[in-house]
Amino acid sequence: MTDKVKTWELISREPVTRNGWRDLERVVFRRPDGSEADFFIKIEFPSAVVLALTKDREVIVARQFRPGPNAIAGELPGGAIDEGETPVQAAERELLEETGYRGIVRHTAVVLDCAYSTKRLHCVIITDCEKVAGQALDDGEFIEVVLMPLPEFREHLRSGMITDMEAAYLGLDLLGLL
Amino acid sequence: MTDKVKTWELISREPVTRNGWRDLERVVFRRPDGSEADFFIKIEFPSAVVLALTKDREVIVARQFRPGPNAIAGELPGGAIDEGETPVQAAERELLEETGYRGIVRHTAVVLDCAYSTKRLHCVIITDCEKVAGQALDDGEFIEVVLMPLPEFREHLRSGMITDMEAAYLGLDLLGLL
């Protein structure tokens, strides 16, 4: 690898819009050739996403309507990491709230989300899950829990109707299940 | 699957910010229980991302600084689909511009990107790539082309320092290379 690719120098950043969830900043960098360039960057909080498998190696899928794609998707459980929580605590909480399952944390990994977002995705892999409670959904959450055997889950991934595909494949990879 | 998970009724949408690239809309839906809820939705164009392999089955990686994560990442080639282009045409153009390689289109797939974005990711898998030209980078692009043998690419995926992980794993899956 050459010196061609360097970290750019941050010159300035200013808010474009602030609304508590989808903040944008105009960020100016100095590039390797000395020129300045500005970008609209999404300021997004880290989130936790859980690849969770039951003792029978079925994947716990949260089937729900998603307002961005305007479609029903089969998602991995997960959500925002609350103030004071670790990513693992957030993952365990979201899994329990959305599905009623609890298990053993096996791996964690951090993944970049988007070239124009500050977001980091904390992937948490939980195995040997058992149902210990009912769902405890937030107001406005309508989630159907679907258990998918691995071959069916792989087909689901190939369908593309999931926004957490990276965490799903990465989790299966780290578990040696690809 | 039950009737619990339904498509929500779209009530209204209004712009929050318009800047040509990172538009936000406030979108109001009626949920299954009859209640209304509003969301800040990212209005993002579809993009094309390319898992490209050489004849020697090395993955063509575009190593570059990314302003969102503020880090150097090893990315898949790709970018916005221009007006009048098909996703495959965009993928072939971006691959050629960023890396100078051209090959044979094997698969295409469409993947959801984010629960709060309209974006669809068009994944294009191109194999048997050969170098036919030099890079033709846009102003401000600083990209180092790195050829990674499959085992090294799998390690790179596990590092998380890539924003196109879903397309990478999906492409390897569709090629039977996982």
Q: Quick check: A4 and B40 CB within 8 A? A: no
Residues 6+ apart with CB under 8 A from A77: A49, A50, A52, A60, A62, A91, A94, A95, A98, A99
**Which of A24, A124, A138, A159 to probe the B interface (max B CBs under 10 A)?**
A24
- How far is the alpha carbon of B71 from chain A, nearest alpha carbon, in Å? 6
pLDDT digits (tens, 9 = 90+) for B3-48: 678 899 999 999 988 776 678 899 999 998 899 999 999 999 999 9
> Which alpha helices (DSSP H) does chain B contain, by range?
87-99, 150-159, 165-174
Contact B124, B48 (CB under 8 A): yes
Banded pLDDT at A108 (limits 50, 70, 90): very high
Residue B41 to residue A67, Cβ atoms within 8 A: yes
pLDDT digits (tens, 9 = 90+) for B110-153: 999 999 999 999 999 999 999 999 998 877 789 999 999 999 99
**pLDDT reported for residue A20:** 66
Query: In degrees rounded to 5, what are phi and psi of residue B147?
Result: -95, 120
Q: What is the pLDDT of residue A68?
A: 95
Q: In which element (H, E) is residue A122 found?
A: strand A120-131
- Would an 8 Å CB–CB cutoff place A21 in contact with chain B? yes
For residues B92 and B101, what is the distance between their CA atoms, to the nearest angstrom?
9
Predicted confidence band of residue A1 (pLDDT cuts 50, 70, 90): low
Is residue B126 within 8 A of residue B95, CB to CB? The reply is yes
- Token pair listed for B21: 């690239």
- The answer to whether the predicted template modeling score (pTM) of the entire model surpasses 0.90 is yes
Confidence check: pLDDT of B73 > 70: yes
Rounded to the nearest 10 degrees, the angle between the axes of helix A150-159 and helix A165-174 is: 140
d(CA A4, nearest CA chain B) in Å:
7
- B177 at the A interface (CB within 8 A)? no
Q: Give yes or no for a contact between A4 and B145, defined as CB atoms under 8 angstroms apart.
A: no
- Distance separating alpha carbons of residues A124 and A104, to the nearest angstrom: 10
Reported ipTM exceeds the 0.90 cut = yes
- In chain A, residues with a C-beta closer than 8 Å to the C-beta of B67 are 8, 27, 29, 39, 41, 115-116
Q: Stretch A38-63: mean pLDDT, rounded?
A: 96
| Residue A2 clears pLDDT 80, i.e. is over it | no
Q: Name the range with the highest mean pLDDT among A51-60, A140-149, B35-44.
A: A51-60
pLDDT score of A14 more than 90: yes
The answer for B 50-79 residues in CB contact with A (under 8 A) is 63-73, 75
Residue A95: half-sphere exposure toward Cβ, Cα within 13 Å: 30
Q: Hey, how many other C-beta atoms are within 10 angstroms of the C-beta on B124?
A: 28
Question: Which residues, 6 or more positions from A130, have their beta carbon under 8 angstroms from its beta carbon?
Answer: A54, A55, A101, A102, A103
For residues B61 and A109, the answer to whether their CB atoms sit within 8 Å is: no
